[in-house]
């Protein structure tokens, strides 16, 4: 039996929809799994407070980490503050199945330390333009799952989903990606299926 929870890292640029995805995952999975969340913000606990306000989970299951400085460092080079939050949740809730670690908004070079995350999901959004997938970077090219979010905005910003699809395939090779619109839950089931399959989760 797996004694350590699956740790899923959710990263991506500011405003791409990481917290909305974290909320949606909590709402969909909290009745199936023993679940907790760590959020990262530079100077506040805004994302953690958003999740608490929206009743994603019981407040004691959500820890907000204030990283200071560069959010990239707290999930990669020196992940100690996040590792301590994960350990705190493990002590608080023995038998956790899943911990979601949401990074602070960062650039395309941000990646999670393997010490902190077992699976990585990288979220970008259509409003940044259809050229974003071909810009590459570790998040776009190497994450376990790429989520291209806010597809409902494509017509308004003149972005081509066909171009994004083509470029994502080119940059990622065999690695999967999902188009999503978290406002209406589009793509959520695919993301959940990926987490359950790749993370070998089985509901109680």
List the pLDDT tens digit at each of the 204 positions of the chain. Answer: 457 999 999 999 989 999 999 999 999 999 999 999 999 987 778 899 999 999 999 999 999 998 876 767 778 777 899 999 999 999 999 999 999 999 987 767 678 888 899 999 999 999 999 999 999 999 999 999 999 999 999 999 999 999 999 999 999 999 999 999 999 999 999 999 999 999 999 775
pTM comes to 0.94
Q: Which of 83, 87, 88, 99 is nearest to 195 (CA)?
A: 99
Give domain limits for the chain. Answer: 6-198
Contacts of 46-52 spanning 24+ positions with Cβ under 8 A: 47/18, 47/19, 47/22, 47/102, 50/19, 50/23, 51/19, 51/22, 51/23, 51/26
Question: Which residue ranges are tagged as binding site?
Answer: 12-19
Bridge-partner residues for 35, per DSSP?
A: 98
Question: Which residue ranges are tagged as binding site for GTP?
Answer: 12-19
What's the CATH code, domain 6-198?
Answer: 3.40.50.300
Query: What is the C-alpha separation between 154 and 177, in angstroms, rounded?
Result: 17
């Amino acid at each position: 039996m797996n004694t350590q929870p699956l740790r899923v890292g959710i990263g991506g640029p500011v405003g791409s929809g990481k917290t909305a995805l974290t909320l949606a995952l909590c709402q969909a999975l909290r009745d199936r799994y023993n679940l907790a969340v760590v959020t990262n913000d530079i100077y506040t606990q805004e994302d953690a407070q958003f999740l608490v306000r929206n009743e994603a989970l019981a407040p004691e299951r959500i820890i907000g980490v204030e990283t200071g400085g560069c959010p990239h460092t707290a999930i990669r080079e020196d992940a100690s503050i996040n590792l301590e939050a994960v350990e705190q949740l493990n002590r608080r809730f023995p038998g956790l199945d899943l911990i979601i670690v949401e990074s602070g908004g960062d650039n395309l070079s941000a990646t999670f330390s393997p010490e902190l995350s077992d699976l990585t999901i990288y979220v970008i959004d259509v409003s940044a333009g259809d050229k974003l997938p071909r810009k590459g970077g570790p998040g776009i090219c190497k994450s376990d799952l790429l989520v291209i979010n806010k597809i409902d905005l494509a017509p308004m910003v003149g972005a081509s989903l066909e171009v994004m699809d083509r470029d994502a395939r080119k940059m990622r090779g065999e690695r999967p990606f999902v188009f999503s619109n978290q406002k209406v839950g589009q793509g959520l089931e695919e993301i959940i299926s990926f987490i359950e399959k790749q993370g070998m989760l089985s509901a109680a």
